[in-house]
């Protein structure tokens, strides 16, 4: 199978970095102009050298675009995203309501998981954030599964949703809207960066939901020692990935 012009492919380097491109386009990365015309006609698994770097041309994973997405508002790290989509039970065919699209990093993951039969409806009141999110989702080839709206989530008309995911400064103000939007048994997952927000949100729950569960998301990287033997934690230390609150609609 050969790569066609305009086809979405990943250029995979030996260090694990991945660059998702549309074959034939010219892109700018780290101040350099990278033409990809020579990818057209190659087969998956073929090697190609671009600007002195050797890559393998491979079919993209849905996670590959994360390495080159445009960053605007604060983004959620991949380890925390994994916890959120697991707590929300998102899978093929899921109908998901999100509030706080931001740069679309979490939106992208949910859009990938719901498949062609599912749908993500995402609210963000910031026009700049919506523009960045649309650009990132288009880059990943997933925009067709997402509706990005500018109304506050409190005004949402969404109903019978399988999951609601909130990333808002005051998520306790969106509990009524979340209850109305969810089907019975649907999952509510809330991301907050501070313990103050976490406590206030958890205390705002009532009998319309199951008792809320809270957890901290922590990610710690490990690296091979340069001396030839041994494995050690990264000097960057554990990364605080925020706090998650989860519950289900009764």
Looking at domain 8-61, its CATH architecture is Roll (3.10)
Question: Helices 78-88 & 105-114, crossing angle to 10 degrees?
Answer: 40
Whole-angstrom distance, CA of residue 5 vs CA of residue 209: 50
pTM comes to 0.91
pLDDT on residue 27: 79
pLDDT on residue 30: 66
Instruction: Kindly list the distances between the CA atom of residue 79 and the CA atoms of 59, 64, 158, 227, in Å, as whole numbers in the listed order.
Output: 23, 15, 28, 29
Average pLDDT along the chain, 250 residues, taken 10 residues at a time: 92 92 83 84 93 92 90 86 98 98 97 98 97 95 98 97 98 98 98 97 97 93 82 77 96
pLDDT on residue 67: 85
Helix (H, G, I), strand (E, B) or coil at 5: coil
pLDDT on residue 58: 96
pLDDT on residue 72: 84
* Residue 30: both structure tokens together: 């780290």
pLDDT on residue 237: 65
Helix (H, G, I), strand (E, B) or coil at 204: coil
Q: Which CATH superfamily is domain 69-248 in?
A: Vaccinia Virus protein VP39 (3.40.50.150)
pLDDT on residue 1: 80
pLDDT on residue 239: 75
Helix (H, G, I), strand (E, B) or coil at 31: coil
What are the boundaries of each domain within the chain? 8-61, 69-248
């Amino acid at each position: 199978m050969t790569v066609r012009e305009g086809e979405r492919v990943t250029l995979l380097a030996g260090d694990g970095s991945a660059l998702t491109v549309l074959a034939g386009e010219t892109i700018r990365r780290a101040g350099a102009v990278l033409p990809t015309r020579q990818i057209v006609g190659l087969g998956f698994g073929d090697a190609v050298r671009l600007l002195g770097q050797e890559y393998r041309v491979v079919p993209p994973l849905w996670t590959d675009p994360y390495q080159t997405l445009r960053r605007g508002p604060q983004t959620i790290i991949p380890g925390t995203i994994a916890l959120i989509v697991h707590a929300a039970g998102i899978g093929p065919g899921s109908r998901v309501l999100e509030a706080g699209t931001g740069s679309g990093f979490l939106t992208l993951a949910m859009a990938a998981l719901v498949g062609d039969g599912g749908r993500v409806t995402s609210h963000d009141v910031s026009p700049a954030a919506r523009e960045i999110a649309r650009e990132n989702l288009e880059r990943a080839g997933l925009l067709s599964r997402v509706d990005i709206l500018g109304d506050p989530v409190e005004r949402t008309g969404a109903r019978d949703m399988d999951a609601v995911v909130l990333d808002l400064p005051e998520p306790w103000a969106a509990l009524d809207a979340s209850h109305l939007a969810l089907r019975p048994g649907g999952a509510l997952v809330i991301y907050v960066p501070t313990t103050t927000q976490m406590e206030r949100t958890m205390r705002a729950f009532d009998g319309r939901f199951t008792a809320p569960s809270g957890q901290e998301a922590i990610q710690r990287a490990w690296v091979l020692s340069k001396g030839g033997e041994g494995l050690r934690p990264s000097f960057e230390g554990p990364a605080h990935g925020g706090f998650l609150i989860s519950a289900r609609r009764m």
